[in-house]
Structure 1
Amino acid sequence: MSSSAMEEEAPDLLCQLENVQGLVVALCAVRWKRHQDALVELSEHGIVLIVDECCCLQAKVYLKRELFVRYEYNAQGRPRFGVSLGLFVDCLNTFSVPGQSSSIQIQYPGPDMQVLLTSLDSPDASICAEIRTRIPEAVAWNYNFEPAGTSPLTFTVRSAALKEAIEDLEWPGSSIQIILQPDPPSVILRGEGHGDLQIDLTYYVNTDLLAAFQCDLGVSFKYKYKFLRATTSNLPSSPIKESRGSKVTVGRGGMLKVQHLISVSKLSTSHPYVDSIGYKPPGRIAYVEFFVKPEESED
């Protein structure tokens, strides 16, 4: 067979991942309801998975090619396909063994335009799964996130603290108001409804909680609670990189961007040499972004 014919038969993407459970955790972070369709886009730089809700909430999971131990990209342009997020996660879970790093191979497309998953852990058995894809619908919401002004309006907060604060704001039963003010430099989360609840995060007072803050002009916007909660509700506890936290940025018109870093590294094993020098292999990180539109002002 000629080399040109072999190239024509090569799939658009063939990649291998060391820790399938880490991928499951990253994808579950953007799974805020049972039935969700996702758009998957492939490129030479990696894989992007996008989910959208009512043109008000959008989430993206970035899986850069450096995250994979093998990444062979043969497509022209950027292939896109639709898939059920729940089905994709459930299939990946079948390859996951609790407490162990399970390696898989991902191929697209298969003979019928499927996503093909193959376990790489057992030399004596072949475990495979096929996920049917669909023609993707265009993502309805083009978020076009832009800075609110010449200086960014942003803060970095410990991920677990942000998740806890948003969950605490559920009981007032209303929208959540986010206020950034430069003097004193602080972030205020406020809910009003059946009761009033306000959570203040003051910069310089507790740098372990609010690690970074930048705001030259005070702003205030309201967001629907269910959309704001979706940005943190499925964050894992252990794989969150607490040292770097979650970054929240307010863009033009109140568009909110929430960014998380989730580790998908292979589970470490004890080794005398590794333990003696304190060396740890570089982590592989999945980047997760949420975009939330504010409620329209009554004005």
Structure 2
Amino acid sequence: MLFSAEISDFRTVHNVLRAISFKDYAILRPTEEGLKFTLEEMKSVEISAYVPRNMFSYYRIADNADVSFKISMKVFTECLNIFGDEGNPSIKLSYKNEGAPLCLIVKHSEENITVDCEIKTLNADDSPDFSLAEECNLNKVVFNANMLTEVLQRLDNGADDITISLNPDPPHFTLSTTGIAGESKVNIPRQSDSITIFQCQKKSSWKYAFHHIRQILKVMNYANKVAVFSGETGLLGLQLVINSDERQMYVEYYVTSLFGDG
């Protein structure tokens, strides 16, 4: 057995995975630290959800095993939600060997009903497991997630792109869009109660496809904190912290810029 795990309350995990499922397939990678789900779109967007080891009641990877495979996110999230909102089901995951299906045993403890599922797996692309955070090491701002979500929702949703600007001097953080209705802009000073960390080494201003930013709003509704990172190349990184029963899972989102002035 290459990988096996058990989790007793996966409601938060299900909600987050469903919210990030903007593509059909995800790469699932069990690591010593926990379970990682990664989705990618045309090399311009990458989103990863991390379910840490301490959220599982049982978690094991075969010694020296490098495990990764693709699964259908639609099928996986449907299996997690097979009992809907009823009860507090548990789930067991197992992956026997390369090419084998991902086996799920979903148990409804109150009704003593067990459902066995098998999800077809595909070989993952040969892509290195490295963090894009190294490219987003120039500026960092940490927000209260509710506030940033509200600000993004107030901007013109009909706009094609959004400009994100950071400046060591006022205005410190600016979001702006231009659409049929005109320009929409929000300035947030570093002194705002909604900002807990503001680190800006150099002024930067980059444009992004607004629909890429809107993709993260669904999962941002479950987050407590959002860290915004930027780098010299215009790559934008968002790290979301999601609390669940005194434990934390994380979502990382990276999107490439359209163009900008650096």
Q: Could you tell me the TM-score, scaled by structure 1's length? A: 0.78
Structure 1's 170 and 91: CA in aligned 2 closer, same or farther, altered over 3 A? farther
Q: 1: CA distance between counterparts of 2:164 and 2:172? A: 11
Other structure's SS at 2:152 match: helix
Instruction: Return the match for 2:139 from 114, 138, 153.
Output: 153
Instruction: Return the match for 1:196 from 172, 183, 193.
Output: 183
Instruction: Return the match for 2:249 from 270, 286, 294.
Output: 286
Same amino acid, percent of matched pairs: 22
Structure 1's 182 and 284: CA in aligned 2 closer, same or farther, altered over 3 A? same
Counterpart in 2 of 1:276?
A: none
Other structure's SS at 2:259 match: coil
Instruction: Return the match for 1:63 from 51, 56, 80.
Output: 51
Counterpart in 2 of 1:211?
A: 196
Structure 1's 52 and 139: CA in aligned 2 closer, same or farther, altered over 3 A? farther
* Structure 1: gaps (5+ residues): 1-10, 266-282
Amino acid at match of 1:137: D
Amino acid at match of 1:248: V
Q: Does 2:24 correspond to 1:41? A: no
Counterpart in 1 of 2:114?
A: 126
Matches within 5 A, 1:259-278: 259-265=239-245
Counterpart in 1 of 2:6?
A: 16
Q: 2: CA distance between counterparts of 1:78 and 1:95? A: 32
Q: Does 2:237 correspond to 1:257? A: yes
Amino acid at match of 1:257: G
Mean Cα deviation higher: 138-147 or 116-125:
138-147
Q: Could you tell me the TM-score, scaled by structure 2's length? A: 0.88
Deviation string for 1:250-298 (max 9, x for gaps)? 1231111101112343xxxxxxxxxxxxxxxxx1221100011011359
Mean Cα deviation higher: 89-98 or 43-52:
89-98
Q: Does 2:40 correspond to 1:52? A: yes
Counterpart in 1 of 2:162?
A: 176
Counterpart in 1 of 2:210?
A: 225
Mean Cα deviation higher: 215-224 or 286-295:
215-224
Shift of residue 77 of structure 1? 2.6
Shift of residue 27 of structure 1? 0.9
> Is residue 153–residue 215 contact of structure 1 (8 Å, CA) maintained in 2?
yes
Structure 1's 158 and 203: CA in aligned 2 closer, same or farther, altered over 3 A? same
Structure 1's 27 and 162: CA in aligned 2 closer, same or farther, altered over 3 A? same
- Which of the two has greater strand per residue? 2
Q: 1: CA distance between counterparts of 2:127 and 2:189? A: 37
Other structure's SS at 2:50 match: strand
Mean Cα deviation higher: 248-257 or 103-112:
103-112
Q: 2: CA distance between counterparts of 1:28 and 1:171? A: 22
Structure 1's 91 and 295: CA in aligned 2 closer, same or farther, altered over 3 A? same
Other structure's SS at 2:252 match: strand
**Number of aligned pairs?**
260
Mean Cα deviation higher: 110-119 or 219-228:
110-119
Amino acid at match of 1:240: A
